[in-house]
Structure 1
C-alpha cells in the first residue's frame, strides 16, 4: 500500500510512520505545514516527505494522486488552541479536511481507505455515566464541533461511495514526549513527562479525583495499524465512528504511578492550581466509555496506567 499521513510532523504521525516502516512493507508519503522528519530506525527509501497547506489547491493537486491507497488524517489545531482562535481552528480542522476529501473524491479510487483522527471532545455535558456509540455527540467546544463536522463528512463520503472511511475517536494519549501543546489535556502527559526529566509541571485543576479516559502511545499505534485491516462493511455506510478503547484514570492514580516509577522526588515537582478556562473544557468531556464495539472489531486497550509511565521512562533511559 501507498499511505499518506497528514499532520505527519506531529507525535501521532511520527509513531505511526515508525511502526509502518518497522512492521509492514508499505510506502509512505508524509506531509505537514513544516517538513516532517523521517522516523529513525526505518527504511527511509520507502518514505517521501513534503510540506504545504492543505487549503492550497495547487499543493493538494500535487499531493493527492491515484497511487494513494490509504490516508491517515492527523492534521489539526488542538482543543484550547481552536477555542482561542476560532478562525484558525475552522480553517485547519474543517476547511483543510474538506479540501483534502474533495481531492480524494476527484482523484482516488473508491477503494481508498481514509482513517480520520477524531476525539472524545465530540461529546459534551450532560452525559450518562457511561458513553456508548448510541449517545448523540453534543460538543461543548469549538474543537469538538470541528471534529464532529468532519466525522459527518466521513459518513457521507463513505455512504456515497467516494472512499471507505472510518473516524476513530481517540482517548487522551499519554505519555507523549516533547513539549507541552495547546491542548487542554496537555498536562496529562506533562505531569508524567516533565517530572521524570527533573522539570516542574502544573496541573490546571485542584481535584485529584478528576478522571480522564486515557490510552498509551503503544496501544494507540497497535489500534491504528489494526484500522488498516478493518472490513469495509464493518460498520453501516452512514455511521463510521468508533470510540477507541481507553482506561479511566484519576489524577491521584496518575500521581501514584509517577511516584512508583520516578519516586517522591518526581512527585514533588507537581504543582496543583486552578485554571478556569482549562477546567471548563476538561469537565465537558466524558469520563467513561463502553468500548464493546471497538473491542469486538479487534481493537485493544491498556491494562493499567503504570505501563504507560514505564514505557516513557524506558524511552528516556534508551535516549
Structure 2
C-alpha cells in the first residue's frame, strides 16, 4: 500500500510510520511543516519519502493517483487553538478540507483515517459517553475536530472517500518535550520525573480523572483501521471513540512510584492553573468502548503497563541511537 501521513513529524506520526515500515509492502509519504525524519530503527526506511512544507502549497505532490490510504494527523493542539483562533482554524479545519477535496478529485473512495479527539464532547456529561451522545465542544480545538468529522461523514456518504474518524483519548506516555495540549502534563507526570525534571500538574486534585491510552495501543488500533471493511459502519456515521481507560492523577503518581521509584514523586509540583484547568474540566472522562471493541480495536490493560511500555521504549531508543 502507498500511504500518506500528514503531521508525520509528530510523535504519533513517527510511531505509526515506524510500525508501517516493518512491512516491506508499504510505501509511505511523510509530510509536515516541521522536520519530519524517517523514524530511526525502521526496517525499510527506503520505502519512505519525506515532503516538508505547507499542506496548501504541497498538495499536488502529496496526493497522487497511486495512493491507497491517508492518515490525517496535522493539527494545532487544544491550548494552541484556544490561544490563536485564526491559526487553529487554518490548520485544523481549512487544511483538512483542502486535503479532502484533493482526495475526492484524485483518488475517490480512498481509505481516509482522521485523528479526532474526545474534546468534541462538552458539559453536561451523561454517566457514560458513547458515539450516540451529541457533541457540544467547549473549545475551538474540539469544534474544529467536530466540523471535520461531519465533513468526513458526508464525503463518505457520497462515496468521495472511505473515511473513519478516530476520537483519540489523551495519549500517555508521550515521549519528547511538553506540547501545547492542555493535557500535556498527563505524559509529563511520568516522563519528566523519570528524567529527573520537574513536572507541573495544573490541577490540585489528585482524583482528577482522565481518559487515556498508551501510544503502542493507539498505533496498533490505527493500523487495524486500515483493515476495516467499508461497510463496518454506516456511510453517514464514521466516528468511533477509540478505546481508553480511566486514570486519576493519583493513579498516575502510584504508577510512577511503582515503576520508577518513590523518589521520583519529588519532581511533581501541583498548582491550580485556572486557564488550563478550565479546558481540562471541560473534557469527558467516562466512555463506553463497546463499539470500538466490536470493530476489533483493543484497549490497554492498565496505566502502569503504559508506564512500563514507555520505560522499555526509552531503553530501545538508547540502543537505536547508540547511546
Fold match, TM over 0.5?
yes
Contact 1:32 1:52 in 2 (8 A): yes
**Match of 2:41?**
41
Q: Give me the whole-angstrom Cα distance separating, in 1, the residues matched to 2:108 and 2:237.
A: 21
Contact 1:35 1:50 in 2 (8 A): no
**Match of 1:71?**
70
1:25-44 deviation per Cα after TM superposition (whole angstroms, max 9, x unaligned): 21100000023100112211
Note the C-alpha offset of 1:109. Answer: 3.1
SS of equivalent to 2:108: coil
Q: Give me the whole-angstrom Cα distance separating, in 2, the residues matched to 1:121 and 1:253.
A: 22
1:144-202 deviation per Cα after TM superposition (whole angstroms, max 9, x unaligned): 00000000010010011101000000000100000000000000000100000111100
SS of equivalent to 1:278: helix
Q: Give me the whole-angstrom Cα distance separating, in 2, the residues matched to 1:302 and 1:151.
A: 25
Q: Give me the whole-angstrom Cα distance separating, in 1, the residues matched to 2:263 and 2:114.
A: 40
**Match of 2:28?**
28
* 2:95 equivalent to 1:96: yes
Contact 1:55 1:95 in 2 (8 A): no
The match for 1:272 among 264, 270, 273 is 270
* 2:114 equivalent to 1:106: no
SS of equivalent to 2:231: coil
Contact 1:203 1:270 in 2 (8 A): yes
SS of equivalent to 1:124: coil
* 2:253 equivalent to 1:252: no
Q: Give me the whole-angstrom Cα distance separating, in 2, the residues matched to 1:184 and 1:257.
A: 21
Alignment of 1:138-149 (within 5 A): 138-149=136-147
SS of equivalent to 1:3: strand
Unmatched runs of 5 consecutive residues or more in structure 2:
319-323
Alignment of 1:262-301 (within 5 A): 262-301=260-299
**Match of 2:321?**
none
Q: Give me the whole-angstrom Cα distance separating, in 1, the residues matched to 2:266 and 2:140.
A: 35
In the superposition, the TM-score normalised over structure 1's length comes to 0.98
Q: Give me the whole-angstrom Cα distance separating, in 1, the residues matched to 2:222 and 2:105.
A: 26
Contact 1:3 1:71 in 2 (8 A): yes
Contact 2:24 2:47 in 1 (8 A): no
* 2:121 equivalent to 1:120: no
Q: Give me the whole-angstrom Cα distance separating, in 2, the residues matched to 1:130 and 1:200.
A: 34
What stretches of structure 1 move > 4 A for 4+ residues in a row? none
**Match of 1:189?**
187
1:79-102 deviation per Cα after TM superposition (whole angstroms, max 9, x unaligned): 000000000000000000000001
1:15-72 deviation per Cα after TM superposition (whole angstroms, max 9, x unaligned): 000000114621100000023100112211110010121223xx21122111111000
SS of equivalent to 1:22: coil
* 2:237 equivalent to 1:239: yes
SS of equivalent to 1:293: helix
Q: Give me the whole-angstrom Cα distance separating, in 1, the residues matched to 2:28 and 2:8.
A: 10
Contact 2:199 2:268 in 1 (8 A): yes
Note the C-alpha offset of 1:317. Answer: 2.9
SS of equivalent to 1:31: strand
**Match of 1:230?**
228
The match for 1:221 among 219, 231, 238 is 219
